[in-house]
Each structure stands twice: as structure tokens, then as C-alpha cells.
Structure 1
């Protein structure tokens, strides 16, 4: 592993205004006047301040969304789609600035071209594909059909690990269906969502259609699903918080979708092409410093190739460069002190349980890294499937290797956690690939490629405690609608 660093610059962008949130098209402070510091995780310097919103701010946002809803609902779908396409164009035009904002607040290095414009264009293309169906009737003078209609004012809560893509995915589908929305980004990374909301206004999306309330989860976040006039929720985050959001929605009989955690298995069978598998597995656990719900954190390997695979993984991990956002590195810091301590505590738990660290496992040494939340990418061998590091989501660059003796045992181990978000299989046998794809309990299965890669418009979501509902696919806009059945008879017709 290579460590690199130097002094980063503070955030400075025309897309941001310090200390304000978006409510009804206006950039306003919180009702309390309080703010939250947004910190660069590479050095703990202040990037910006955002309002510490609360239930009063959420109420103002709901009122603004209610005011905007009738006109937005009644705007024809093709016109709504055109505005979303224009938003996507502006995101692409400002891609460098948006990428720089997100890299600083999340701490990640550059990932190359933004995927958000393409994802938003895919959603925009579904806007005028929202269709009902005709229904059979008992008599020829009756017409039966269904309408798909928006819920009205809806809410969304997203985490800090990929704020730009998640904001676009959640907001895009919701407003494409004709809803207006109140969004709460994570307090650690709210800047990219605010910048994207500003571009949405510039694209011509009317004031009040998108509202962004910043603040802490237990204040502004909790107020959204608890609000009686919000009619549908989307939440991405931990299973623990997801359960609280679901309980709040239940009190108002509000539908929702939940995209929660993962403990994704990467099954490596004895005929796997290791030259392709090893780089993919290492990048999968070090991308965004392992802070991705889909990260492949468990390697389940056939005993016959176990030793070779561990040696290759260790060698590949040692080539991973680590440093701040503005350096050409592979991996940045963790998001904050809490997450830093969490990852380090899991590394200690692994050692105490008898797992063996092959490489990594410590904080990088050096004065330049004293303030940053850095950790070395870590590889554990001799991991038992029941160990906590093999069962619980660490959300860091920690990879556990588990040995199995056959295909059936690999399936049992892969399915042995409470999660079911993503799984990967490495084999050159098509029959094995088919069997594994069917047997693995996961919302997405990748065969011989990176987790979830290579598919346009693939529905994304989980099994078991990884949540329910799907985003990103062709049905994502439909999921933000409710169905009305209409039975219609001409005025002159009489009952017979």
C-alpha cells in the first residue's frame, strides 16, 4: 500500500451558498438560526456550514411542496421529462465542479466521469411511459381502465457515502412521476445535493418541486416520515435507522421503500479466472474506502485455490494508494471519527476472534495523516462464517476470506447473513453460474464481473434485511405512483 498526501484546498464553488437550504425555491437559513459544520475527512478542516434544520423547517418545506404540487402534477409528462433532461444536461456541464464538491465532503478520490447525468436521462425517459391499462367490463356501455397518479408530497432521506448519485436517483424518479419532494441529505455530506438542487432550479424545474432540508437525522430526518401530509417515503441507510423510519411511516400508514445494508459475498470457485477476479475484488472493497452498501466484503473461496487467492489479494491490496481527495489515489479516508473508530474496532474484533491479518489493519503512520480518518485496506484470512467480521456490515475497507469445500457449502455460507443486497460469483462453468445465480439470496448477482456492473437500468434493491423496493430500473418511476381504477358509463346510459 502506498500513502500520499499534501495540503488540500477549501471548498469554493458558485454552486454553493454557505449556511442555507432550499425551501420553496428560496435559499434560507434554519428556523433556529443554528448551523452544522461540514468537515473535510482528510484533514478535519471546515468546508462549509449548512442549516441545522428541524421539524419547523420540514413543515415549511411540506407547505412549499403542497403549493407546487397541483401545477407540477398537471404539467404533461413529456414536458416534465424535458425539464429532467435539461437538469441532466446542466449536471453534465457542471460535472467537474460537482465532482470536486463530492470528493471533498466524502473524501473520495476521482472516479472519472459522473454517472449521474446518464442515470437521470434514463429516468427522464420513463416520465411519459407511465401508463394505465384497459380493463374488461360486464357490459359494452361501460369502460374500465386504470390511472397511475402521483402520491403528492413525498419524502426522501439519503446517506453520506454517495450523495450525488443517490439524490439524483431518488429525486429524479419521484418528480418524474409528478410528485413534489422534501429531501434530507446526511449532515456529513449535504453539499452535493444542495448544488444539484440549485441546478434543478436553473433547469426550470419549478420552485417547491424539490426542497432540501439539511440537519441531523434525529431532528430534520425524523420529522419527514413522521409528517402526516407526506404520503410516501424513500430511505437509504442502515437497517437500524431504516426500522425507525418504517415505524414512523406505519403510524401514518405511509408506503415506503428501504435500501439498507449489505454483507456481499464474492464466491470464488475452483475454476475461477483469478487474473480478472482479484483486481475486481480488491477495487470492490476499497472503492469509496469500503463505504458502499454493495461492497463485496466476504470472499468465499474453494479450498483448492485458497492459498493462491490470499497471496494474490494481499499483493493487490498492497498496491492500493491512499490519500486525500485531490491526489491521484485509489482510496481516501473514512467519513468521520465515528466511522473511523467503528472500522478500527471491527479490526480488533477480528483479531480477538482468531482471524489472521494478512495485510493492513492499522492507521497510516505520518504527521500528514494525523488529523485524517485514514485506515489501511485490510485483509483477514482464517475467518469463520460465524465471526462478527463475517456477519456484520463494517462499512470500511476490510475483506474477510472464508474457505469452503464445495459449491453447496459456498451457497450456505453466502446466504448465512441477515443481508441480501449483492452477490458475486467467479466461475468459468455456465451451469455453475446458473445454479449459483438462482441459489444466492440477493437482489443483484454478478457473474465474472464487478458487483452490479455492466447493466443499464438494472433494478437495485435487497432481499432480507437489505430492504425492499427497487430503484434505478424502468419501474422506478412507477413505484412513485398509486393506481386508480375508473369505471365509466356514458351519461345517457341507464342501468339495465
Structure 2
């Protein structure tokens, strides 16, 4: 059990079985024997290798899930909850190591105490709260009620930007409902999901309940929605891939939820508390190097405070420190070369289309940045709503400022994109806050906060091309169940 990187702390190395994935409670290679290198984006050092799996490995995982399903389904819900609580405790106990592991493979600096245990604990509390309802009947000798039952073997595909939280969100809810699951993490960041699955086994969650198959999206990933015996699917990623997933699910009539991209507006009015808003907005776009679907990448600002907002944002972004995961910095590198080219390409597009580059726009200077996928925090001003940097998700630390004249224009600009994931409003007017919260087309609206709801158990999901369905809320376990109506009456006695 080892991670290849010698720089990894010992407690991190113990969390991952190099070259293996989890199928049926066993750590196994791909049936082909091929592997994928997982690299640290700060220096391109190999951290570990994982199996390059395909449809045959997914089939093996489905079979393992099918074998485990009857006993897991029939285990009483309180017992299932107890195992999830034990899993949460182990995640907490290994929180420092898990944070270090995720930091290495994603490239981010530490986010502090690892919160995934809390996510699992919140979901565990829902496991034995899944209830049906009694139904009215036409006669007193009939009883009607509903049952909420698991689907069976379900599937999930998660991205690389927050692999631990994404894994917990999908897996914990699915198995709390009594399903077994086959999940594929992104090939760039599969190690934290594998580590979390290892801790789930140690917690006593039976073999085959959680199966983690690693590989490329076009191979292992594509095999999950195409599999006819996977009964429900969750996908988080880009709208383009979401459409492909949805088309594959349509062929098997497989229900799914999609959590896709965002182009979230930060709407600032003249009465906003800029001392609070500016640092929150700067931190929001540079957190995880802007690789967050909820990141507020558009500042829609009332014209009377436009210049002050730009000056203060520029000063805040220039103070953002950049470096590798193990340093005390605010921002790390982008995940890989493809993403680096994408973000730098959008910066070039912004310049070409006439936006004013205020700060950033290049690679940080210095030998320590030469081998990693680093980019400077970047601020554009005088962005028109139709520019590509104002319309398309960049998924990097690039902020666009769009001045507007009044509240109505702010609403039009904020809603004038294909996405609708998160929106924020900065104002001291309660009336305006209420109006804006109703008018903004987004699944989450934050008033005087930068990344959305900021509440415990807030349902998370999008409008428009940001997807459909909700995760993380009080109904997250219910979403992994299907409803059965039962009508029961006593059979009449036979006549002789």
C-alpha cells in the first residue's frame, strides 16, 4: 500500500493501494493491466498510478454490486446509518492525511479541517428517516401506502476539482438509501476517492457496496451510463459531457441527475459593504484556482461604484499568493496542461475582444513555477455581456467586471448566460435583496456572501444548462429511491 511520491507523508501513503481499484471489496488492477499516471500539477511529479479500466472492469464492478445488493438493501436503515457514522469518524480521524492527498493531486493548498466527514455524517442522519405515506382508500377493508425502495446498482461519475467532497456527496446518499454503487473518479484526481473507499471498508461497509473504477472518461466513464443494469446515475462535469451522458442514459431509460457548469454573477450595488464584498469575491474566484463550478466569475456592478470596485478588486487579487500545495499560499496551479491552455486561451480572447486587462494575465515568474501549471489571478474590466469571457465558463482564476446602470439591467446581465448555478447579491437594502433573490435564475442565491447559500443542508443544483436535480440537501437520500404504491385488502373467504 503505497503512493509512489517520496514526498508524500507516511500517513498519506497508507491510504492508497498503488495501481489498484476497488471492486467487490478487493484491490485489483484493470483486466488489461494498463495504468494511468497521476501527477502533481505543481511539478508534474508522479504521485501514483491507477488502473486504466474499461467496460469489462465496469461489468465486474456491476456484478459485485449486484451480489452485495440484497443483503445491503435488507439491512435495517439504522444499521446502515451506523456504518456511515463510523465511516465519518474514520474520515475525521484521517482528515489531515486526506487533505494532504487531495491537495497533492488537485494542486490546491490546504483548505483547513477536512469537512467530508461532516458531509457523510449529515447524510447518515437521513438513512433511517426514509418514509412512505398512508393513502386514502375507497373502502375500509383496503389499506394503501407507499414504499421508498433503492434502485439497485447505481452509478456516478465525478470530476477532479473536489474529488473528496464529490465522492462523499454521491456515494453516501446512494448507499444510505440501500443502493450499491459503481463510481468513476476523474483520471486526474482519483486518489482521494480511493482513499475514502478504503476507509469505508475499514468502517465495516460490506464488500461490493462501494466499487471504485478508475480510468478515462471515454472508456471506463462511458461504460457506466451505457450499462443496462445500472439503474440510476449521478454526473458532475461539463454541459458537453452531460449531454453525452444523458443521451446514453436515454437509450436505457436510466434516470439521472446532472450538476454541470456555472458562470455565476456577483451583483454589486452602490450601497454594498465593499469591505466585506471585495475580499470575498477575490477569494471566491481564486479558491482552487477558480476551478469551482460555483465560482463568481462575473462582477456585475452598479456604475456609480464601478471604478472603486475595480481598483479594490485589483489590489485584493494582487495580494493573492501562488505556489505548490505544501506552502502557505492562497492559490495553487491549474490541474493539467489542457486546463492551463484553456485558461490562457480565454485570457487571450478577452484581450482580443477588447476587454481591459487590469492585473494578471500570465504565468508567475520564478523557477519554482517553471514545471507546474500556474497562472496569475486575472482581472478584466469593461467587459461587455456578449464577450466570450462573460458568456463561457473558463474554470480558472479569471474575473470579468461588467458595469450596469440600474437594478433591471443588472438582472438582465446576470441572467443573460446559458448557466444558472449560483448568484450573489451585495446590497444593504432588504427590499432589493428580496427582489433580486426572486429574479435571479440560479439554483442558489447568496445575499452578501460569495459562493451561494452558506447554510447546512442547502440543496445544491442548477437552472438552465447548469443541470437538474439536487444534492446535499435534506432530501438527498430520497433522491436515490423509487416509489412503490401498495394496495392491500383481505381476500374473500371461499364459498362451498
TM-score tier by shorter-chain length is: over 0.9
Tell me the residue number matched to 1:330. Answer: 330
Tell me the residue number matched to 1:366. Answer: 366
Cα deviation, residue 454, structure 1: 2.7
Q: Cα deviation per residue 1:56-106 (whole Å; 9 max; x = unaligned)?
A: 000000000000000000000000000000000000000011011000000
Give the whole-Å Cα distance in 1 for the aligned partners of 2:104 and 2:249.
33
For residue 424 of structure 1, give the secondary structure of its aligned residue in structure 2: strand
Within the alignment, does 1:473 sit opposite 2:473 as a pair? Answer: yes
Tell me the residue number matched to 1:379. Answer: 379
Distance 1:24 1:437, change over 3 A: same
Tell me the residue number matched to 1:37. Answer: 37
Tell me the residue number matched to 1:145. Answer: 145
Give the whole-Å Cα distance in 2 for the aligned partners of 1:130 and 1:453.
25
Which contiguous aligned blocks of 4+ residues in structure 1 show a shift greater than 2 angstroms? 7-12, 491-495
Cα deviation, residue 166, structure 1: 0.4
TM-score (norm 1): 0.97
Give the whole-Å Cα distance in 2 for the aligned partners of 1:15 and 1:448.
39
Tell me the residue number matched to 1:288. Answer: 288
Give the whole-Å Cα distance in 1 for the aligned partners of 2:193 and 2:25.
14
Cα deviation, residue 492, structure 1: 4.1
Tell me the residue number matched to 1:388. Answer: 388
Give the whole-Å Cα distance in 1 for the aligned partners of 2:491 and 2:289.
65
Distance 1:198 1:270, change over 3 A: same
Cα deviation, residue 450, structure 1: 2.5
Cα deviation, residue 8, structure 1: 9.3
Tell me the residue number matched to 1:483. Answer: 483
Cα deviation, residue 491, structure 1: 3.3
For residue 235 of structure 1, give the secondary structure of its aligned residue in structure 2: strand
Give the whole-Å Cα distance in 2 for the aligned partners of 1:493 and 1:213.
55
Tell me the residue number matched to 2:313. Answer: 313
Q: Is the 8 A contact 2:298 2:399 kept in 1?
A: yes
Q: Cα deviation per residue 1:305-357 (whole Å; 9 max; x = unaligned)?
A: 00000000000001100000000100000000000000000000000000011
Cα deviation, residue 119, structure 1: 1.1
Give the whole-Å Cα distance in 1 for the aligned partners of 2:300 and 2:432.
15
Give the whole-Å Cα distance in 2 for the aligned partners of 1:338 and 1:139.
66
Within the alignment, does 1:229 sit opposite 2:229 as a pair? Answer: yes
Cα deviation, residue 177, structure 1: 0.3
RMSD of Structure 2 on Structure 1 (CA): 1.2
Cα deviation, residue 417, structure 1: 0.2
Question: Where does the alignment leave 5 or more consecutive residues of structure 2 unmatched?
Answer: none
Give the whole-Å Cα distance in 2 for the aligned partners of 1:425 and 1:451.
11
Q: Is the 8 A contact 2:151 2:481 kept in 1?
A: yes
Within the alignment, does 1:9 sit opposite 2:7 as a pair? Answer: yes
Cα deviation, residue 247, structure 1: 0.4
Q: Cα deviation per residue 1:393-432 (whole Å; 9 max; x = unaligned)?
A: 0000000000000000000000000000000000000000
Q: Cα deviation per residue 1:99-137 (whole Å; 9 max; x = unaligned)?
A: 110000000001111111111111000000100000000
Tell me the residue number matched to 1:421. Answer: 421
Give the whole-Å Cα distance in 2 for the aligned partners of 1:159 and 1:51.
17
Give the whole-Å Cα distance in 1 for the aligned partners of 2:269 and 2:493.
69
Q: Is the 8 A contact 2:151 2:232 kept in 1?
A: yes
Within the alignment, does 1:268 sit opposite 2:268 as a pair? Answer: yes
Distance 1:493 1:243, change over 3 A: farther
For residue 454 of structure 1, give the secondary structure of its aligned residue in structure 2: coil
Q: Is the 8 A contact 2:153 2:229 kept in 1?
A: yes
Give the whole-Å Cα distance in 1 for the aligned partners of 2:118 and 2:39.
29
Give the whole-Å Cα distance in 1 for the aligned partners of 2:300 and 2:494.
69
Which aligned pairs between 1:211-250 and structure 2 lie closer than 5 A?
211-250=211-250
For residue 403 of structure 2, give the secondary structure of its aligned residue in structure 1: strand
Give the whole-Å Cα distance in 1 for the aligned partners of 2:301 and 2:38.
41
Cα deviation, residue 451, structure 1: 1.4
For residue 241 of structure 2, give the secondary structure of its aligned residue in structure 1: helix
For residue 225 of structure 1, give the secondary structure of its aligned residue in structure 2: helix
Cα deviation, residue 453, structure 1: 4.7
How many residue pairs end up in the alignment? 489
Q: Is the 8 A contact 1:415 1:441 kept in 2?
A: yes
Give the whole-Å Cα distance in 2 for the aligned partners of 1:380 and 1:452.
23
Give the whole-Å Cα distance in 2 for the aligned partners of 1:52 and 1:369.
30
Tell me the residue number matched to 1:104. Answer: 104
